[in-house]
Structure 1
Amino acid sequence: MAKTPEVGTPAPDFTLPGLLLDGTADAERRDYRLAEAKGHPLVLVFYPGDDTAVCTKQLCSYTSDLDRFKDLGATVWGISPQDLDSHERFARKHKLAFPLLADTDRTVAKAFGIAVPGLGLRRSVFILDAEGSIHWKHVALAGLTFQHSDTLTAQLAAL
Structure 2
Amino acid sequence: MTIEEGSPAPDFALPDSDGKTVELSDLKGHQVVIYFYPKDDTAGCTTEAKDFTCLADDFKRAKTTLLGVSPDSSASHRKFRDKHELAVRLLSDDGHRVADAYGVWVEKSMYGRKYMGVERATFLIDKAGRIARIWRKVKVKGHAEAVLEAVRAMKG
- TM-score w.r.t. length of structure 2: 0.89
In 2: Cα distance, 1:125 partner to 1:131 partner: 18
1:25 aligns with none
In 1: Cα distance, 2:141 partner to 2:67 partner: 15
Is 1:7 matched with 2:35?
no
1:56 aligns with 46
RMSD: 1.3
1:131 aligns with 128
Specify whether residues 86 and 64 from structure 1 end up closer, same or farther in structure 2 by C-alpha distance, changes over 3 A only: same
Identity %: 37
Cα distance, 1:97 vs structure 2: 1.2
In 1: Cα distance, 2:67 partner to 2:79 partner: 17
- Report Cα offsets for 1:90-109 as digits up to 9, x if no partner: 00000111211000100000
Q: Secondary structure at the match of 2:29?
A: coil
Is 1:77 matched with 2:67?
yes
- Report Cα offsets for 1:111-154 as digits up to 9, x if no partner: 001102433110000000011100101110xx553552221111
Q: Secondary structure at the match of 2:19?
A: strand
Which of 137, 148, 155 aligns to 2:143? It is 148
> After TM superposition, what 4+ stretches of structure 1 lie above 6 angstroms from structure 2?
none
Would the aligned equivalents of 1:17 and 1:29 in 2 still touch at CA under 8 Å?
yes
Is 1:44 matched with 2:26?
no
The count of residues paired between Structure 1 and Structure 2 equals 147
In 2: Cα distance, 1:60 partner to 1:130 partner: 25
Which runs of 5 or more structure 2 residues have no equivalent in the other structure?
108-114
- TM-score w.r.t. length of structure 1: 0.87
Which runs of 5 or more structure 1 residues have no equivalent in the other structure?
20-27
Which of 88, 91, 96 aligns to 2:86? It is 96
